[in-house]
Structure 1
Amino acid sequence: MKFIKPKLSFWQIWNMNIGFLGIQFSFGLQQTAVNPIFSFLGAHNDQLPLLNLAGPITGLLIQPLIGAISDKTWSPRWGRRKPFFLIGALIGSLCLLAFPYSPALWFAVGLLWILDVGNNTAMEPYRAFVGDKLPESQLTFGFQMQSLFVGAGIVLANFSIFLFQDWFGSSENASQTATSIPTWLYYSFFLGAFASITTILWSVLKTPEIPPSDKELEVIELGKKEPFWNRTLEPLKEIFAAISDMPKFMWRLATVYLFQWYALFCYWQFIAPMLVESLNVGKEAALGKAALMNGSYNFATMILALALVPLAKKFSNKKIYVLSLFLSAIALVSLPFIKNDILIFLPMLFLGIGWAAMMGIPYAMVSKIVPQGKRGVYMGIVNMMIVIPMFIQTITFGPIIKYLLHNSAINAIIFGGVFFAIAAI
């Protein structure tokens, strides 16, 4: 007899997803503060893509492996996905505490690798966790709630950067440390470490997991009896088998993701350098402005994420997703040409709508078409589709910006907008 998942209340889905706020606070710091920190420590524009190699590589290796391993994990006390949340959050929190103390560029880059391992360990099972818990009728709502917390976490990260720069940045020049990392930036990283571990703990304590069926438990127990080497290779075999059996929709989504995530990586790496060029301001002022802008688009995401649910039901997930990509393209192409301090936030509304759709709708569509027993590995494969374009961007965009785009951050942002438009088409 097939198990019918019970519908969850609004607050149950809220508690289940709130841990994503802490994970995304950490990602918000990466998006806005890490590349300026690299610049403070001496990195040049054409070096930034390669210095961000940690995200794609760790995502490519960690997420599908953790997904496959968590599919075959069960502890009556700790559950299936939740142990990985906790391990990832602990690693991420320790790295956030250490990051602003980086004495040199190589040290900061190394910490970014470890931080991304922690974040990816926590994030991938979280996607599968929502699919595990919710019936199909609530999947879109569940993933859009997750999208809400994506926005909320990044909003808090970026607004903390903006506020700390505004409150403490002006009087800091005389006490600047040898590393050139502003001391006001430390506070955002400390807050991120606290948010990462506490929100994950809230979700873990408030949300019980659904136990595996008798058949799933039998498979898990048989797996434990396999020789160590077989158990080590099994997740890799599962990943390759799942890719070979992947639904056609996921192959089409991979093509869209190639352009979408390449564009996003261009935006995250070059928004602060672009503001230095387009608004003719210093690096610290540009970092504060970029934080406020990134916080604004994620605030729009937080407000609009759940509003997309009825629209997706009325017009279809696909149409809303395509519209969101076109709006993101308009946002990036227009940004460098806006010189007004107020009007420059208008494109952030468009990007916020796009980000809300990107972080929820594709996962809902995939979760509906993949086998429940392989949901973890398939969510890992979706995240491979994210990090492979990022990897391509990190190794190709340095020469592109240096030799084709005249080492201009403005041209880098416009380039990203064109790629968003291609993704929509």
Structure 2
Amino acid sequence: MTFKKPTLTFWQIFNMNVGFLGIQFSFGLQQTAVNPIFSFLGAHHDQLPLLNLAGPVTGLIIQPLIGAISDKTWSPKWGRRKPFFLIGALIGSLCLFAFPYSPSLWFAVGLLWILDVGNNMAMEPYRAFVGDKLPNKQLSFGYQMQSLFVGAGIVLANVSIFLFQDWFGGAEVAADAAVGIPKWLYYSFFIGATLSVTTILWSVLKTPEIPPSDKEYDEIKKHNALPMIERIKTPFFEIIDAIKDMPKLMWKLSAVYLFQWYALFVYWQFISPMFEESMGFDKSQALSQAAKMNTTYNVSTVVFAMILVPLALKYGGKKVYVLSLFLTGAALLSIPYIHDPFYVILPMILFGIGWAAMMGIPYSMVSKVVAQERRGVYMGILNMMIVIPMFIQTLTFGPIEKYLLNNSAVNAIIFGGVFFVIAGFLAIRIQDPGADLDDDEPILAGGGGH
């Protein structure tokens, strides 16, 4: 007999997702502050993609492995997913405390690798955690609530950057930038380190996990009884088997993600250098402007995250997702031609609508087409579809930007806009899994191949 998941209240879903605030504050610092820190420590434009290799590599390895391991985990005291995102938050917190004290470029790059391990360890089981708790009819709401916290965390990170520069930078900004990382930037990292742990603890303490079914628990006990070497090998085989059985929706989504996430990585790496080039800002001014723009699009994400829920229910998640990709493409194609910082707000609002959809709708669609007992590994595979394009971008875009795009950050942002438009056309091929259902069985439990 299938277990019927209880319908949760607004505040239960809210509390469940609070931990994303801390994770995304950390991610916001990575988006906006890490690449400028690399520049403060001597990195050149064409080196930025390769210096960001940590994100795709750790995501490719850590998230699917943690997902597969958490599927086979249960502790009556700690649960299934919560131990992993709590440990990940602690790792990320320690790295954020240390990051602004980086004495050299390669020290900062090394810390980014460890920080990404922590963030990825927290991120994947958190995505599965939300899917575990919610009935199908609440999945769209649950993942869009997650989008709201994604936006809020990044908003706070970016607001802290330009406010601390305004409050504590002053005449020392240029001098600080000449010798290393500006002191005013330290405070944002300290806040991020604190939020990383406290918000995760809030969700851990406020949200109990659903115990595994008798069948799942028997599988977990059988797995735990295996010799250690077999237990180590099992997650790798789980990932391979899950890829073989992957629903068609995920195969089609992988093509969209190839262009979408390549373009997003280009944006995060080159938005600050673009403001130096298009508006004549120095590095500190460009960092502050990038923080303001990232704040704008994430405020837009917070505002539109919940608005997208009824739109997705009425018109279908696929149509909303396709439109969001085209809006984001239009935003990136227009930004380089705007020379007044104030008017960049308009495309950033479009970008925020797109980001809200990207952070919610695909996860909701995938959760509806995979089986409960494999949700962790499939959320990890979904992340592989994110980090593989990022990995490709880190290896290929440096030479592309240097030799094909005339070493121009403006051209890099336009390139990203074109890729978003391509992603939009590819998303038209996705079959919408349909409106939220009352039952808790997936529409497709796996299979379907290519």
Q: Same fold (TM over 0.5)?
A: yes
How far residue 341 of structure 1 moved from its aligned partner, in angstroms, is 2.0
- Aligned pairs for 1:13-24 within 5 A: 13-24=13-24
Match of 1:75 in 2: 75
Superposed CA deviations along residues 97-125 of structure 1, whole A, max 9, x for unmatched, are 00000000000000000000000000000
* 8 Å contact from structure 2 (residues 173, 284) kept in 1: no
Structure 2 vs 1, CA of residues 419 and 97 (structure 1 numbering), >3 Å: closer, same or farther? same
* Structure 1 residue runs of 4 or more that deviate by more than 4 Å after TM superposition: none
CA RMSD of aligned residues (A): 0.9
How far residue 180 of structure 1 moved from its aligned partner, in angstroms, is 1.1
CA–CA distance in 1 between the matches of 2:100 and 2:35? 12
How far residue 2 of structure 1 moved from its aligned partner, in angstroms, is 1.2
Match of 1:163 in 2: 163
How far residue 207 of structure 1 moved from its aligned partner, in angstroms, is 0.2
- Counterpart residue identity of residue 187, structure 2: Y
Match of 2:104 in 1: 104
Give the TM-score taking structure 2 as reference length.
0.94
Percent identity of paired positions between Structure 1 and Structure 2: 74
Match of 1:316 in 2: 316
Superposed CA deviations along residues 395-418 of structure 1, whole A, max 9, x for unmatched, are 000000010001100000000000
What secondary structure does 2:339 align onto?
coil
Match of 2:253 in 1: 253
Match of 1:117 in 2: 117
Match of 1:294 in 2: 294
Instruction: Give the length in aligned residue pairs.
Output: 425
- Counterpart residue identity of residue 119, structure 1: N
Match of 1:153 in 2: 153
CA–CA distance in 1 between the matches of 2:236 and 2:250? 19
CA–CA distance in 1 between the matches of 2:93 and 2:115? 8
What secondary structure does 1:176 align onto?
helix
Q: Does structure 1 residue 331 correspond to structure 2 residue 331? A: yes
* 8 Å contact from structure 1 (residues 177, 183) kept in 2: no
CA–CA distance in 2 between the matches of 1:299 and 1:130? 23
Superposed CA deviations along residues 224-273 of structure 1, whole A, max 9, x for unmatched, are 11011110000000000000000111000000000000000000000000
CA–CA distance in 2 between the matches of 1:292 and 1:160? 10
How far residue 171 of structure 1 moved from its aligned partner, in angstroms, is 3.0
Superposed CA deviations along residues 145-184 of structure 1, whole A, max 9, x for unmatched, are 0000000000000000010111111132486388510000
Superposed CA deviations along residues 344-379 of structure 1, whole A, max 9, x for unmatched, are 111000000000000000000000000110000000
- Aligned pairs for 1:13-412 within 5 A: 13-173=13-173, 176=176, 179-412=179-412
* 8 Å contact from structure 1 (residues 104, 179) kept in 2: no
CA–CA distance in 1 between the matches of 2:2 and 2:395? 47
CA–CA distance in 2 between the matches of 1:366 and 1:36? 35
Give the TM-score taking structure 1 as reference length.
0.99
CA–CA distance in 2 between the matches of 1:177 and 1:288? 13
CA–CA distance in 1 between the matches of 2:349 and 2:296? 7
Superposed CA deviations along residues 379-404 of structure 1, whole A, max 9, x for unmatched, are 00000000000000000000000100
CA–CA distance in 1 between the matches of 2:163 and 2:85? 29
CA–CA distance in 2 between the matches of 1:216 and 1:135? 18
**Gaps (5+ residues) in structure 2?**
426-450
* 8 Å contact from structure 1 (residues 263, 420) kept in 2: yes
CA–CA distance in 1 between the matches of 2:172 and 2:71? 50
* 8 Å contact from structure 1 (residues 333, 417) kept in 2: yes
What secondary structure does 1:5 align onto?
coil
Match of 2:441 in 1: none
CA–CA distance in 1 between the matches of 2:29 and 2:35? 10
CA–CA distance in 1 between the matches of 2:81 and 2:224? 17
CA–CA distance in 1 between the matches of 2:396 and 2:70? 33
CA–CA distance in 1 between the matches of 2:206 and 2:339? 47
How far residue 282 of structure 1 moved from its aligned partner, in angstroms, is 0.5
